[in-house]
Amino acid sequence: MSQKALVLEEAKAPFVLKSIPIPKPGTGEILVKVLACALNPVDFGVQARDIIPNVKYPTILGLDVAGDVEALGEGVEGYAIGDRVFFAAEYSMNHGGLQQYALKDVSDPNIGKIPPNIGHGEASTIPLTLSTAAIPLLSANPVGAGLNPTFDSKVSFDGEVALVIGGGTSVGQYAIQIFKYLGFGTIITYASARHSDFLKSLGATHVIDRTEVPLPALSETVKTVTPLPIKNIYVAIVAVPDALEAGYACLAHGGQMATAHPAPPKPADAEATGRKIYGVFASTKIEPNIEFGTAMWKNLPKLVEEGTIKPNRIEMLPSGLAVVPDALLRFMTGGVSGVKLVVNPQDTI
């Protein structure tokens, strides 16, 4: 039996849409009919620039998968054919999401059953993107800011102020929701005003319009919103160096700034002012993130079902895998605004 897949034959090669065999689940694996795969900026970076070390070619990209269990390998417990699942995938011929059928090892904790209140497309927005916000904010020091490594429901930052720079990004939308989950009383975000109502529905209390206020002016503008010190900040904008600088300028002495940047530079006065910065390589499948990732996935289905974590809004791309190469270019041209791009490989013509 064959399927359609988008294959990268070698580093920096163009994608090839081709027929390949449907993989067979080995011991402890499930075969998943992929009904949604969310795209991420890193997919463009890997295809065009080979930015992730140790990718073995040929490979199939697609890190965020949702689908239905199609077949069970030997020894699989806790899953049945037809279960709706979402999971953190990996770049590999059998396990990448940009194909019609992918394998998943269910001894890996980075998988959950999709709660009944969301669809496959929405579920696919969660794994990598939520991790990118959650790891540097919640996981224990020194990996993250340690705001709630165990998802303890008693933790509360009631009355405190948080700031999210880039709240309109997919990652920033989850950062806003994490601050709300933690009980922050004031959650300021820097984003386009056209997303205001949506970002307020996620938990933002104030939106500073990025089309009106340039990043270097942000710290002064924030002072007009609150006189309180800002001890917790998330910066979701990586490509614009001004974003980290603007966040740092807003950060109270002794405060913590988390970011989607994998290796944020440390300002010269960080030690003297007690300001800490936490970057992330957002895989929950590798150290030092495995323990936190396990806790996150254990809690995730319930947090989604009760509406504490709402998935990103999605733009479902037409025609399945064929449009992915063009869609990835949109990450580089500002062509993604307030939505997650999602593809259903079953729609491939």
Q: Does 61 bind ligand NAP (CB under 6 A)?
A: no
**Which of these segments, 52-60, 152-160, 235-243, 297-305, binds ligand NAP (CB under 6 A)?**
235-243
Q: Which is nearer to ligand NAP, 3 or 40 (CB)?
A: 40
What is the secondary structure of 45-103 as a DSSP string? HHHHH--STTPPSSB----EEEEEEEEE-TT--S--TT-EEEEE--SSTTT-SSBSEEE
The residue within the footprint of ligand NAP, chosen from 60, 282, 327, 342 (CB under 6 A), is 282
Q: Which is nearer to ligand NAP, 73 or 168 (CB)?
A: 168
- For 31, phi and psi rounded to 5 degrees? -100, 125
Report the DSSP beta bridge partners of residue 113.
Answer: 85
The residue within the footprint of ligand NAP, chosen from 32, 106, 280, 317 (CB under 6 A), is 280
Q: Which is nearer to ligand NAP, 224 or 333 (CB)?
A: 333
Least gap, CB of 287 to ligand NAP (angstroms) = 14
The residue within the footprint of ligand NAP, chosen from 6, 93, 236, 251 (CB under 6 A), is 236
Q: Does 311 bind ligand NAP (CB under 6 A)?
A: no
| Pairing of β 101-105 and β 111-113 | unpaired
Residue that is written with structure tokens 């009631």 in the block: 158
Q: Does 262 bind ligand NAP (CB under 6 A)?
A: yes
Least gap, CB of 129 to ligand NAP (angstroms) = 6
Asked if 14 contacts 329 with a C-beta cutoff of 8 angstroms, the reply is no
The residue within the footprint of ligand NAP, chosen from 34, 36, 111, 336 (CB under 6 A), is 336
Least gap, CB of 280 to ligand NAP (angstroms) = 5
The residue within the footprint of ligand NAP, chosen from 186, 192, 219, 226 (CB under 6 A), is 192
- Distances from the Cα of 19 to the Cαs of 5, 16, 96, in angstroms? 6, 10, 15
Determine the Cα–Cα distance for residues 76 and 232; give it in Å rounded to an integer: 42
Beta strand segments in 123-228, E: 161-165, 186-191, 206-209
- Distances from the Cα of 310 to the Cαs of 105, 126, 236, 314, in angstroms? 26, 9, 18, 12
Determine the Cα–Cα distance for residues 74 and 26; give it in Å rounded to an integer: 7
Helix pair angle (170-181, 127-138), 10° resolution: 50
Nearest to 289 by CA among 104, 130, 77: 130
Asked if 30 contacts 71 with a C-beta cutoff of 8 angstroms, the reply is yes
Least gap, CB of 206 to ligand NAP (angstroms) = 15
User: Which residues from 167-186 bind ligand NAP, rule CB under 6 A?
Assistant: 168-171
Q: Does 65 bind ligand NAP (CB under 6 A)?
A: no
User: Which residues from 102-161 bind ligand NAP, rule CB under 6 A?
Assistant: 128-129, 132
Least gap, CB of 241 to ligand NAP (angstroms) = 10
Query: How many residues in the shown chain lie near ligand NAP by CB under 6 A?
Result: 30
Q: Which residues of this chain interact with ligand NAP, rule CB under 6 A?
A: 40-42, 128-129, 132, 166, 168-171, 190-192, 210, 236-240, 243, 260, 262, 280-282, 331, 336-338
